[in-house]
A and B are shown apart, each in its own frame.
Chain A
Amino acid sequence: MTLRRRLLFAAPLAVVAAGGAGFYAILRRMQAQNYDPHALPSPLIGHKPPAFTLPGLNGGPGFSNTDLIAPPRPMLVNWFASWCIPCAQEAGLLYALAQAGLPIWGIAYEDKPEAISNYLGQYGNPFQRLATDESGLTAINWGVYGVPETYLIDKSGIVRWRWAGAITDDVLQNRLNPLLAQYS
């Protein structure tokens, strides 16, 4: 067999091997919860959040888009629900971030006041301010397509990052922390 023929025979094998290596890399990153192939890029990135005014919990003060115009430092807006399992998974990490001084505002998505109170009592309340979107219509204007979703808003009130799914240690270290450093 000539060298050329050998190379021709090896080419399909090389393609399969490269594909396998690619899939393996994707699976590893999915396992580390650092990558979600279903995650969508948010059209809100580079823009201010859409106009909204949401009530708080049990008649408490909620917040509106005008409260997000110029935060003193970068902040997170976290969409969550008491019925959402990944929300409970990231609750501890959010609480620790809030304790470390990162402002996090929460919006409860399609949830009942009593269930929200129980949830925050069980997992701790990391939120400086809390609003409730019981109808889920504000969520649609934000382009939220599941909970949890977390938005990073910089000091000029512009959305810089959206993470759909639970924030893990890996996501915090490799994605959120560099962005917080960049925009602080």
Chain B
Amino acid sequence: MKRLLLVLALLPALAYAQIVTRDGVTLTQAQETRAEAIGDQLRCLVCQNESIEGSSAALAHQLRVIIRQQVVQGVSNKDIMAYMVQRYGIFVLLKPPLSPLTWLLYASPFIALALGFGAAWIARFSRPPPPAPLSAAEQERLQKLMNS
């Protein structure tokens, strides 16, 4: 009975260790999940708004194969990313790192916010002062005009 329970408890692990074949590479489901996570973060160089995982371009297929082969070989995620950046530059990363080249990109929301506040500030404090209140004579004239 204990043995049966142990087997039942380990059943979900089987799904995790399941062998799959993607893009011609055979790997475990865990490795495939890792490979997909990496490919999702990489830009397809051919159709530049798609990820390597999502693209049907031939180059994207080749890169998917390379990622899976490296995952099977036990290469770390960081090293696989470095492999891609070394060949294609940081443009291959869908989320580029903060660097002198990208600081304007990351700073742009804050710059836009600052510009908006600046414009509001200027508008608020550069309004012409309200006209001086009417003198007694002017009040009287106004009354007359309104009554007539």
Contact = CB atoms under 8 A, between A and B. Distances in A.
- Say if A and B assemble together: yes
Interface in A23-66: 38, 40-43
Interface stretch (B4-12, B29-37, B59-67, B134-142): B59-67
Interface in A101-152: 110, 136-137, 140-143, 145-146
Contact of A43 (B46, B59, B63, B89): B89
A43 B62 contact: no
A43 B87 contact: yes
Among A42, A43, A141, A142: residue with most chain B CB under 10 A: A43
Nearest to A42: B89
A143 B62 contact: no
A43 B86 contact: yes
Contact of A140 (B62, B85, B89): B62
Contacts of B63: 140
Contacts of B48: 38
Contacts of B86: 43
B16 interface: no
B89 A145 contact: no
B66 A140 contact: yes
Contacts of B89: 40-43, 143
Interface in B45-85: 45-46, 48, 58-59, 62-63, 66, 85
A140 B46 CA distance: 13
Interface in B85-121: 85-89, 91
Contacts of B66: 140
A148 to B, nearest CB: 14
A140 B45 contact: no
A140 B88 CA distance: 9
B20 to A, nearest CB: 23
Contacts of B91: 40-41
Nearest to B66: A140
Given A40-B45, A140-B66, A145 B85 contact: no
Nearest to A40: B91
Given A142-B87, A145-B88, A146-B45, 6 more contacts: A136-B62, A140-B62, A140-B66, A143-B87, A145-B46, A146-B59
30 contacts: A40-B45, A40-B88, A40-B89, A40-B91, A41-B89, A41-B91, A42-B89, A43-B85, A43-B87, A43-B89, A110-B58, A136-B59, A136-B62, A137-B62, A140-B59, A140-B62, A140-B63, A140-B66, A140-B87, A141-B87, A142-B87, A143-B88, A143-B89, A145-B45, A145-B46, A145-B59, A145-B88, A146-B45, A146-B46, A146-B59
